[in-house]
Amino acid sequence: MANATKNSMGARATFETGSGPAFIYRLDKLEKDGLGNISRLPFSIKVLLEAVLREVDGFIVTEADVQKLAAWNAAAPAEDEIPFKPARVILQDFTGVPAVVDLAAMRSAMARMGGDPQ
């Protein structure tokens, strides 16, 4: 499994599945270590925090990045960037086909409405 060795903050845990061992990154470990009240964070921030924690490498993603995100506060928004490295992008478009289909549909709709699609 990718990133199976990244565990600089000690938050990675292992559990067994029918396919072998799997890894999770425990946000409650960060809270126990005093990085803030993680359990109060909105789910969306927890998702970002877990993604950052999973990618800590000490270079592109650092423990300081995890600490800053763990201290997130809606009342005092920060201007810090989040080193987000998604593993997957749903509905990615490398070919441009969906955009071309959308343009064709708009052209057809314009023609049906009596407008000039050119």
Q: Per-domain residue ranges for the chain?
A: 12-87, 91-118
pLDDT one-digit tens code per residue, 41-66: 999 999 999 999 999 999 999 999 99
pTM of the entire predicted model: 0.68
How confident is the model at residue 1, as a pLDDT? 43
How confident is the model at residue 69, as a pLDDT? 94
How confident is the model at residue 27, as a pLDDT? 96
How confident is the model at residue 21, as a pLDDT? 95
Q: Cβ neighbours of residue 46 under 8 Å, at least 6 residues apart? A: 27, 38
Residues of the chain predicted below pLDDT 70: 1-5, 88-94
